[in-house]
Chains A and B, each alone.
Chain A
């Protein structure tokens, strides 16, 4: 009995396959925010089980289709069983999708359709892997793909595959080991009973377990090679210089005052700024700016008023605090001193040991600290605040008409430079076309960045050229950048459709250090310098928005009751890119670099600067070539067959084709000994494949070569035999 008929053995394989497929599903579900993971897993399990039990295709197909339909009904209507209502839902939905497809109106297809597609994909994946395991007894390709898939996601997406990669290694090695054993016994026609199989399987398990455990617990050295990711991402983006101008400059991250010239790359700086002891991480606001200059931000002068608050006095930040029950206190200990205080959303009062005056500037919403008329930089202070909450109903009721009735003091939050390209305005219209309320339009702009090919990066970001708009460059040319790009763009887009908005600077929550007594200590460094957006909802007030990708929190808001916009952003994955800056562009921007060194020197300089990248790409290309060479047996036939078809007849074609076939057979593993004649080799090949093609070809070849009667060979008649063998050897 061959191994593949051994039920226990095969069951083990299918269980391992299930876990491997689950590893595929997990990141997809996490990244696309898809729910109901267990139900998808059940689908995979059922499909694999039926494949394992060799259920006839019409039964298994029916079961799977029924399951998919049930899933749709259950998830979209909530009905546990097929009721008349749910069936009419299915009918209605499929009609709608069919119409959308027929009219090629892809955007009109519903979520149900996408769910269906996802299931189809899972179905195909299960079928394929079943085929590989059951018929080919080989998993390597799929295994490799899984590792690459998870590694790429781990590197380039917020998904953290730290433990997934270990699980995959273990599952994959087990599968590969078991399948190798199966192939080995079959190729040697060895029949093993379960106990004999165990002799091989138990050491395999033990060895993999031991090596995995060792790998897990041994100390890990830091990487020897520089991180190649920034290099790879810079290749895929259009960083560098937009329009051949706007030389990239490099700054250092941190809070700065001057925002007149945004853009350029920056490097990280983990110098501590302050520590915050607070229940949950907050966005710490410093100030906002209102005037966009096509290059950056300035503050309009001579507007607003200054209000002075004393220690512990209730302040008015324009954000009404949430309920008193939720009020909490944060303790900030500064490492760097600023002549102002940082404050979270919903701030009620500030307290320091030594009394201070807090002068609040309504134009820029900054609390400057004074004592007795002199500027002071407080070391430690306490902020009492309660996170604001918004009624979704009220937000949904905001209309564009309300905006028109806003007083003139909001005009500066709708300011836009006259030079702003029209296409930016058009884009704003296009994004918000389908939304009605002000809130929905704002959300539409906020989420626009996360699914239109934008990517987060702090390297290789250009500074806009002389006559180039910073937002326009980001939205239409580079599509890569950091928080300044996203927040500025969102403000400009909002203003383009007359929604008042302002650009806010501060720090994000920072890194958790430790937790005690319900309070968490967050370390905020220069890396946490951040910028975001506040927009005005008529009738509701100012509200925080977070367009920067990597800070995706606000997307998963529960739309049911009341919404707290700060919370999602704060509680999101602590591992997400910790960006941000606001750089003092003290970097080596070197203005332009036009009147530069000679071409030769530039090449040398380029090589010197990019030595790491060059080495990496050389290694990459080398590996690729090696792989192509190693697996030439697999892909070359695909080229050979059309090549010799096009080449057509002629005896020289035949002789070349025959010699090519010999090489191909050699690669396939059927070696011809040095002293073996073609005739005996041919009969071996034919007995191996169960064909007569090789003998047929060899007779003709002998006649051509030894008989010198090449012209009598009819290549056209032999071509079929030849292609048949080439195909057999590439399988």
Chain B
């Protein structure tokens, strides 16, 4: 079966539960295929948890959830070794991070210490406790949510840690029509319970490998680099997109191309994904905030000003 068809089946499946958020579902899949993680930024109650659960169920993955609170400790996330008096040894009790798909809810409510333990696990896909390194089972996909920064009692994530998320996505409220549809569906029974898996985990891992074969032409690589460089020289920007950001954009584009049934990346992919990849990687100067400019707007401006490659590079 074609990769595109398989992935579309997953998305269709998610859509049975989450109404009108096909793009978010697509982006989640893109992140998962790229072995990256998603930061969802939105208010509670718009269906973030439902999305992740639906995704987990659709791919038949192990689903874990961590509710972050100010008093949560790193060991509550990654697990702890407990002394067993019977055999006089320490036994490792894995924390909730050891799952395929992890929902890290309200990540900015916990202390930086706990945040960084999570982010380390995300980056390394392994945890180390008492000198023992344990691999987290693949596929491993974290979807973290955070309340918008303006809310009280939060610890904003440091820049370096934001960089570890492949995409930052805003979910947004459903339209009135969609919301009515939601009400109609949950009236009888919570539909999430009836969801069946449509793809095996092994197949998902294979797709992750296939993503790496999607062709990124030199013109496209050039285009991505050009975009990243422009974020670093923009007058409103304090810190631009790192090379890790460029890599992230390329990976995301490859996944997206696969999702769309192509074996090559086009500038359209780059343009579509740039705001999700760059949005949380651009640190604005305070002037931008006074002028009401957001990172998304800066990205859009750079996209409009950067020449799209439409012919072969000279000398090719």
A: residues with CB less than 8 A from B are 655, 659, 662, 673-680, 702-703, 705-709
Contacts and interface: CB of A to CB of B under 8 A. Distances in A.
Counting chain A CB atoms within 10 Å of each CB, the highest count among B268, B305, B310, B312 belongs to B310
A662 B309 CA distance: 13
B306 A674 contact: yes
Interface of B is mostly: loop
Nearest to A701: B310
Interface in B292-315: 303-312
A705 B307 contact: no
Contacts of A703: 264
Nearest to B303: A675
A675 B312 contact: no
Interface stretch (B16-24, B75-83, B155-163, B213-221): B213-221
A655 B217 CA distance: 16
Contacts of B262: 707
A702 B308 contact: no
Which 4 pairs of residues, A with B, have the shortest CB-CB distance? A707-B264, A675-B304, A677-B267, A706-B217
Given A675-B304, A706-B220, 11 more contacts: A655-B311, A674-B304, A674-B306, A675-B303, A676-B308, A679-B266, A680-B268, A702-B266, A703-B264, A708-B215, A708-B217
A678 B304 contact: no
B229 to A, nearest CB: 15
A662 B310 contact: yes
B225 to A, nearest CB: 16
Contacts of A677: 266-268, 271, 308
Nearest to A662: B310
Contacts of A705: 217, 219, 309-312
Given A706-B219, A708-B217, A674 B266 contact: no
B263 interface: yes
B265 interface: yes
A679 B265 CA distance: 13
Nearest to B312: A705
A674 B305 contact: yes
Contacts of B219: 705-706
Contacts of B311: 655, 659, 705
Counting chain B CB atoms within 10 Å of each CB, the highest count among A675, A680, A707 belongs to A675
A675 B300 CA distance: 10
Given A677-B267, A677-B268, A707 B308 contact: no
A703 B264 CA distance: 8
Given A655-B311, A659-B311, A662-B310, A678 B215 contact: no
Counting chain A CB atoms within 10 Å of each CB, the highest count among B217, B304, B306, B308 belongs to B308
12 contacts: A662-B310, A674-B307, A675-B271, A677-B268, A677-B271, A702-B264, A705-B311, A705-B312, A706-B264, A706-B266, A708-B215, A708-B217
Contacts of A679: 266-268
A707 B254 CA distance: 12
A674 B264 CA distance: 22
A140 to B, nearest CB: 33
A240 to B, nearest CB: 52
Contacts of A678: 267, 308, 310
A706 B268 CA distance: 11
Contacts of A662: 310
B268 A673 contact: no
A703 to B, nearest CB: 7
Counting chain A CB atoms within 10 Å of each CB, the highest count among B267, B271, B306, B307 belongs to B267
A706 B307 CA distance: 15
Interface string B255-278: 000000011111110010000000
B77 to A, nearest CB: 41
Counting chain B CB atoms within 10 Å of each CB, the highest count among A675, A706, A707 belongs to A706
Interface string B98-113: 0000000000000000
A84 B311 CA distance: 76
A673 B215 CA distance: 26
B306 A675 contact: yes
Contacts of A655: 311-312
Interface in B229-268: 262-268
A446 B305 CA distance: 76
A709 to B, nearest CB: 8
A673 B264 contact: no
Contact of A675 (B220, B266, B307): B307
A680 to B, nearest CB: 7
B310 A659 contact: yes
Given A675-B305, A676-B308, A707 B215 contact: yes
Contacts of A680: 268
B214 to A, nearest CB: 10
B253 to A, nearest CB: 11
A706 B263 CA distance: 10
Contacts of B312: 655, 705
Counting chain A CB atoms within 10 Å of each CB, the highest count among B215, B263, B304, B311 belongs to B311
Contacts of B303: 675
Given A674-B305, A677-B271, A706 B265 contact: yes
Nearest to A678: B310
Contacts of A675: 271, 303-308
Contacts of B266: 677, 679, 702, 706
Interface string B206-218: 0000000001010
B213 to A, nearest CB: 12
A674 B310 CA distance: 10
B234 to A, nearest CB: 15
Nearest to A656: B311
A505 B226 CA distance: 87
A707 B213 CA distance: 12
A707 B268 contact: no
B310 A707 contact: no
A208 B310 CA distance: 47
A712 to B, nearest CB: 11
A551 to B, nearest CB: 67
A708 B215 CA distance: 8
A333 B124 CA distance: 121
A239 B305 CA distance: 62
A708 B304 contact: no
A154 B306 CA distance: 56
A679 B267 CA distance: 9
Contacts of A702: 264, 266
B68 to A, nearest CB: 39
Contacts of A706: 215, 217, 219-220, 264-267
Nearest to B308: A677
Contacts of B267: 677-679, 706
A674 B265 contact: no
A650 to B, nearest CB: 15
Contacts of A659: 310-311
A677 B310 CA distance: 8
A680 B217 CA distance: 19
Contacts of A708: 215, 217, 264
A134 B113 CA distance: 78
A673 B310 contact: no
Contacts of B304: 673-675
A651 to B, nearest CB: 11
B230 to A, nearest CB: 11
B257 to A, nearest CB: 9
Nearest to B305: A675
A702 B264 CA distance: 9
A119 B126 CA distance: 94
A674 B227 CA distance: 13
A435 B215 CA distance: 89
Given A677-B268, A677-B271, A707 B217 contact: yes
Contacts of B305: 674-675
Nearest to B306: A675
A709 B263 CA distance: 10
A667 to B, nearest CB: 16
